[in-house]
Each structure stands twice: as structure tokens, then as C-alpha cells.
Amino acid sequence: MVSNNSDLFPTAFKFLVAGGFGVGKTTFVRSVSEIEPLTTEETLTVASIGTDDLAGVGDKSTTTVAMDFGRITFAPQNIVLFLFGTPGQERFWFMWDDLVHGALGAVVLADTRRLQDCFAAVEFFEQRGVDFLVAVNQFPDGFRYGPDEVREALDIKPHVPVVLCDARDRRAAAAALARLTEHVLTNRRL
């Protein structure tokens, strides 16, 4: 029996995972990656005092200074997602311009305790025409809002998916990525 090309060659997507400082981007990539993720975490030091706003990020002691990288495969569909986590601190946003090249979609992680921190990511992807969804990371001490309330607060278009997610949970992160994949395929008619 001869295999068709989709059995031999997977469909690959490059997705970014973006959002504000401390929202859970590295955690999201780590939880869902089927390979040991590459991270560029560095320890926060006193040099960041006055530069990094640590309000609302708990006892965060490290930060991404370049990117995170992970991979997940959706086996039955033979789709491979290459995940690039962006740095959240404004002083590292220049990396986003390089990371976005070739990206077909993005997860914008949102924290309801600091919802304003994801405005920049939403605007970044809207301006570049990159399909995205908003995944509300459900922190234990976060405010609980439904997807429609978050959509209204962020003033995003009705076609942009908003999902609830726990970045620590592999299934929840994979479900968000599956929804983003569907969204991209629908919009691009691939």
C-alpha cells in the first residue's frame, strides 16, 4: 500500500505565545511541549528595579530575555506546531519583530489581574495581520470572567477566539493550540 503525502510530510505551523510580563508564556510552552523546551530564562536582579514592574507576579524570580521554543504534534492530523514564546518585558519587545517572521498564528495569554498587560500583544498581531486567539490564564487568585467579558474588555473583534486556559495544564494548553489551529485553517482556507 502506498502512503499519501500527508502521511510522509507533516503540516508545520509556527505559532507565537505572547503576552505581558509574568503571564505564563514559559509555563505554557513547557507544559505542552513534547520535547525539552529551549528557554532563555535569566534571574531577576536588583538591576531590574525601576525597570520591571513586579506588581501582581507573585514571587517570580526569572524572566525570558529572548524566547522560549517548544514543539507539539497533533498525530491524527499530522500537524506539527513550533512554539515560540516571546519575552514579556517591554525592553525585550524588539525580539517580537524577529520572532513573528513566518508565524501563522499566536496565543495571547491574558491575566485578569493585569488585563491591560496584553493590550500590546493584541495590537501587535492585529497590525501585522497575524491570526491570534486570547487564552485567559486562570491563576488561582485571578478574577473569574467569561470569554465574552474578556472580549469586551479587550475590545477585540468577534471572530477572534477567547478561551479559558491553565498554562500549567498540558491538556488545557493543547486545547488552546488546537483551537488556534482551527482558527488559522479557517481564516486561511489551507
The pLDDT, as a whole number, for residue 3 is: 45
The pLDDT, as a whole number, for residue 128 is: 96
d(CA 168, CA 16): 17
Q: What is the span of the domain harbouring residue 47? A: 5-188
The pLDDT, as a whole number, for residue 1 is: 40
**pLDDT of residue 123 exceeding 70:** yes
Band of the pLDDT at 17, cuts 50, 70, 90?
very high
d(CA 54, CA 159): 33
Name the residue type at position 14.
Answer: K
Exposed (0-12), middle (13-18) or buried (19+): which is 109, by Cβ within 10 Å? buried
The pLDDT, as a whole number, for residue 115 is: 92
What would the pLDDT profile of 51-95 be if each residue is shown by its tens digit?
Answer: 555 555 556 555 655 579 999 999 888 999 999 999 877 777 888
Contact 105, 37 (CB under 8 A): no
The number of folded domains in the chain is: 1
d(CA 181, CA 7): 19
The pLDDT, as a whole number, for residue 6 is: 53
Give the domain CATH number at 105: 3.40.50.300
